[in-house]
């Protein structure tokens, strides 16, 4: 159910080109929500349109061609290069195909055979539009025998205006290759057993993803694609493997809204929304970016058994300096003000889903589906790394649920937990973490300061004072250390900016310090 959209797009092409479309055997932790998240830019933003079609047939070739064109990139030089490259490659391919078809036709007719013509298939498929524009162009020349489809993958950073390779998605010196390799290897074994699909042995088949690996982004997954004959016999086509973003988020430079452990996380505008069980297998998520005066809008849509769609509600995020203008321009719509930070205002709209509106649903069912939005304040949370917390990296994810465990250098600290302060920011216990990192921790005799010492490093800090002295230099934190049940707790910025350690929260809920 989760992959219905993703599979259908590929399967349509697979029927034509003999491409096998499959999905990793393991699923995300939350089994209920349709986790295909559509990312939709405004028409004025970066997008792809069809600009050339050819469905003709002549004495040599039957054409099934549709070429794309990219619009809206900030980097106009790159945009022109991509568009002209697509066109020029097609012209060369068309010329080569016709020349080869003519040679084959002449040779077959000379020997008394009937020439049935070549086929040239070129089709594109847009996979995602933000923050990475991801689309593929699949080319296949049918000559009467077994063909070899070629998939050109285009992945472009929308904000930076640069074309991306697979390694560009990930932070340096992370184990993303190892994780993806293990996931693909496990899936290959599953497919061998469950689907009766053959793959080459390790010697001749899959060992590792390449630096120039085919890939694209679709929904909530990174899709790894292999060439025909690269890791499997020809009848398998071009095998693809869906890697859930939730499994690799800690390695990635880019943040993606995703569904994890019954929560929808939108890390682009820093909030989470708890998905109610009543929505299981009934709701999909659409995200709209930078359109109609808002920064981001997320629609939660009920999919009726007949396939009809009904909007349950939306969460809209608006820049504070544009809020009044936005509300004035949309005064016919009733908004619920949900939350506000230094940068964003968060609004909600309740959809109109009733039996009287012609929906194939009873009023009782409608009330159950709409109820979560009527109580949105109980389900909505600002993610702990809010947009005002500039000391944190944008690509970190901290859940709205206070983590139950903390690990330093991979070792879980027993009986140690994080807390949240009055501003809903996560605070970490100083002594246990500092000592695990090799610091000596003690209070001054007058009890006014805490001192950390390690080698030549000397750090002075005080409760409720956001100015930290580190080796004689002042470091200012957004939030000060706090005293809780006789123990000192510090913000994550202290661990990062003063102790110079990496801090991130894995999707197992554990805060990791390295």
Residue 163's DSSP bridge partners are: 156
Between the alpha carbon of residue 479 and those of residues 343, 426, 458, the distances in Å are: 17, 10, 21
Token reading at 144: 């009467």
pLDDT at 358: 56
Residue 117 region by backbone torsions, left for phi larger than 0, else alpha for psi between -120 and 50, else beta: left
DSSP element (H, E) containing 387: none
Cα–Cα dist 431/408, whole Å: 12
DSSP string, 73-123: -S-HHHHHHHHHHHHHHHHHHHHHHHHHHHHHHHHHHHTT-----EEEEEE
Domain ranges of the chain: 4-251, 262-382, 406-513
Residue 168's contacts (CB-CB under 8 Å, 6 or more residues apart) are 157, 162, 253
Token reading at 484: 């809780």
Cα–Cα dist 446/453, whole Å: 18
pLDDT in tens, the chain (514 residues): 222 333 232 233 333 333 333 333 323 333 333 344 555 554 456 889 999 999 999 999 999 999 999 998 889 999 999 999 999 999 999 999 999 999 999 999 999 999 989 999 999 999 888 778 999 999 999 987 667 889 999 999 988 889 999 999 988 887 788 889 999 999 998 888 876 678 888 777 899 998 789 999 987 789 999 998 899 888 888 899 998 877 787 788 876 656 665 678 777 787 888 887 778 767 878 877 766 667 788 888 887 766 667 888 899 999 888 888 888 887 767 788 888 888 888 888 887 765 445 566 777 777 778 777 777 777 787 764 333 222 223 333 333 334 557 888 888 887 777 776 655 567 888 999 999 999 998 888 777 889 999 988 899 999 989 899 998 888 888 788 988 877 888 988 888 889 988 877 654 567 888 8
Each residue's pLDDT tens digit, 451-476: 999 988 899 999 989 899 998 888 88
Cα–Cα dist 287/294, whole Å: 12
SS3 category, 322: helix
DSSP-assigned letter for residue 170: B
Q: Is cis: bond before 131, omega within 30 of 0?
A: yes
Cα–Cα dist 119/104, whole Å: 13
Fold identical between 4-251 and 406-513? no
The answer to whether the predicted template modeling score (pTM) of the entire model surpasses 0.85 is no
In CATH terms, is domain 406-513 a member of 3.30.457.10?
Answer: yes
CATH architecture for the domain at 4-251: 2-Layer Sandwich (3.30)
- Whether the CB-CB separation of 131 and 157 falls below 8 Å is answered with yes
- Whether the CB-CB separation of 199 and 206 falls below 8 Å is answered with yes
Cα–Cα dist 221/242, whole Å: 6
Residue 322's contacts (CB-CB under 8 Å, 6 or more residues apart) are 293
Each residue's pLDDT tens digit, 231-255: 988 888 889 999 887 778 778 887 6
What is the pairing mode between strands 380-382 and 406-408?
A: unpaired
pLDDT at 387: 31
- Whether the CB-CB separation of 352 and 373 falls below 8 Å is answered with no
DSSP element (H, E) containing 163: strand 162-163
Token reading at 36: 């295909």
Q: What burial letters (b/e) apply to 227-236, b meaning 16+ CB within 10 Å?
A: bbebbbeeeb
- Whether the CB-CB separation of 158 and 131 falls below 8 Å is answered with yes
pLDDT at 215: 96
Token reading at 26: 């393991």
DSSP string, 240-260: EEEEEHHHHGGGBSS---EEE
Residue 212's DSSP bridge partners are: none
Cα–Cα dist 434/443, whole Å: 14
Cα–Cα dist 467/88, whole Å: 60
Distance from the first to the final alpha carbon of the chain: 38
Q: What burial letters (b/e) apply to 266-288, b meaning 16+ CB within 10 Å?
A: bbbbbbbbbbbeebeebbbbbbb
Torsions phi, psi of 243, nearest 5?
Answer: -105, 115
What is the pairing mode between strands 263-266 and 457-461?
A: unpaired
């Amino acid at each position: 159910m989760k992959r219905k959209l993703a599979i259908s797009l590929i399967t349509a092409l697979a029927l034509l080109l003999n491409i096998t479309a499959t999905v990793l055997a393991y699923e995300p932790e939350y089994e209920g929500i349709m986790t295909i998240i559509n990312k939709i830019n405004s028409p004025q933003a970066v997008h792809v349109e069809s600009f050339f079609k050819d469905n003709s047939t002549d004495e040599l070739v039957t054409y099934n061609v549709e070429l794309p064109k990219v619009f809206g990139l900030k980097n106009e030089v790159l945009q022109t290069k991509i568009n002209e490259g697509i066109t020029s490659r097609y012209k060369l391919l068309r010329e080569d195909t016709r020349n080869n078809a003519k040679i084959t036709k002449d040779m077959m007719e000379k020997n008394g055979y009937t020439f049935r013509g070549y086929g040239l298939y070129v089709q594109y498929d847009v996979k995602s539009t933000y923050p990475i524009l991801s689309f593929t162009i699949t080319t296949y020349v049918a000559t009467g025998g077994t063909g070899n489809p070629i998939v050109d993958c285009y992945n472009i950073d929308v904000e930076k205006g640069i074309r991306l390779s697979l390694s560009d998605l990930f932070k340096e010196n992370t184990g993303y290759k190892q994780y993806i390799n293990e996931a693909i290897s496990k899936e290959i074994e599953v497919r061998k057993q469950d689907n009766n699909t053959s793959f080459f042995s390790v010697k001749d088949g899959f060992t590792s993803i390449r630096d120039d690996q085919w890939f694209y982004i679709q929904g909530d997954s990174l899709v790894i694609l292999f060439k025909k004959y690269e890791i499997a016999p020809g009848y398998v086509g071009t095998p693809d493997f869906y890697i859930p973003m939730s499994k690799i988020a800690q390695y990635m430079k880019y943040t993606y809204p995703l569904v994890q452990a019954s929560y929808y996380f939108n890390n682009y505008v820093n909030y989470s929304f708890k998905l109610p069980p009543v929505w299981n297998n009934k709701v999909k998520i659409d995200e709209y970016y930078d359109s109609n005066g808002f920064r981001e809008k997320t629609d939660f849509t009920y999919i009726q058994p007949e396939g009809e769609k009904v909007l349950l509600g939306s969460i809209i995020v608006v820049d504070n300096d544009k809020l009044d203008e936005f509300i004035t321009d949309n005064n016919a719509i009733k908004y619920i003000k949900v939350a506000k930070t230094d940068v964003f205002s968060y609004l909600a709209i309740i959809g109109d889903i009733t039996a009287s509106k012609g929906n194939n649903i009873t009023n009782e069912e409608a009330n159950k589906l709409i109820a979560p939005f009527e109580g949105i304040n109980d389900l909505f949370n600002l993610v702990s790394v809010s947009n005002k917390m500039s000391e944190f990296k944008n690509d970190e994810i901290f859940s709205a649920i206070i983590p139950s465990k903390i690990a330093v250098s991979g070792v879980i600290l027993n009986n140690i937990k994080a807390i949240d302060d009055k501003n809903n920011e996560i605070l970490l216990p100083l002594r246990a973490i500092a000592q695990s990192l090799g610091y000596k921790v003690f209070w001054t005799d007058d009890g006014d300061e805490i001192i950390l010492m390690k080698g030549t490093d000397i750090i002075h800090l005080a409760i409720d004072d956001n100015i930290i002295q580190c080796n004689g230099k002042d470091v200012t934190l957004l939030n000060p250390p706090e005293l809780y049940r006789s123990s000192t707790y510090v913000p994550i910025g202290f661990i990062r900016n003063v102790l110079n350690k990496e801090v991130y929260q894995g999707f197992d809920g554990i805060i990791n310090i390295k």
